[in-house]
Amino acid sequence: MSEVIYVTEEGLQKLKVELNQLRNVERPMLSRQIADARDKGDLSENAEYAAAKEAQGMLEMKINKLEDIVARSRIIDETKIDISFVRILHRVKIMNKSNNSVMEYQLVPESEANFKLGKIAVSSPIAQGLIGKKVGEVVQIKVPSGIIPFEIISISL
């Protein structure tokens, strides 16, 4: 049995839109390219045909992967999330006790992670160190540059 993937409603919608684009736009376009290349003659020396077939194989792999992700996805009901301790989907404001800098991150599924938007994957070292902790706790988190103490300032949705 494959592992369940937890996503937000918005994240699942994005995956479905991408899957629909691949199935209904890119797949037919590649099929036309293959047909056009096939019409040009000898397939054994037709680089255009070989490239189109390779692109088709890559596209089918991507479609299969997205279908698998969508099939295993479970939507997280944000209204039933307890914010007394850090969990997935929470916004967590933390202070680096070494330099007193304050950061805020939202813990999201890997498919929705975007560091520029302050969304970190729940599997990242910082997120793993924060999960299950409460406001006021100081946690020691191992990051590539060493171990950093973080204090949890607030938890919200």
Handedness of CA 146, 132, 97, 156 (dihedral sign): positive
* pLDDT tens string 73-110: 888 776 777 778 898 888 999 999 989 999 999 998 88
| Residue of 123, 143, 129 lying closest to 92 (CA atoms) | 129
Q: For position 1, what pLDDT does the model report?
A: 44
Same domain, yes or no: 97 and 39: no
| pLDDT, position 48 | 84
CATH number, domain containing residue 45: 1.10.287.180
Q: Name the domain boundary from 75, 109, 133.
A: 75
- Quote the pTM value: 0.60
* 120 in Cβ contact with 111 (< 8 Å): no
Domain boundary among 75, 90, 108: 75
If one counts the domains in the chain, the total is: 2
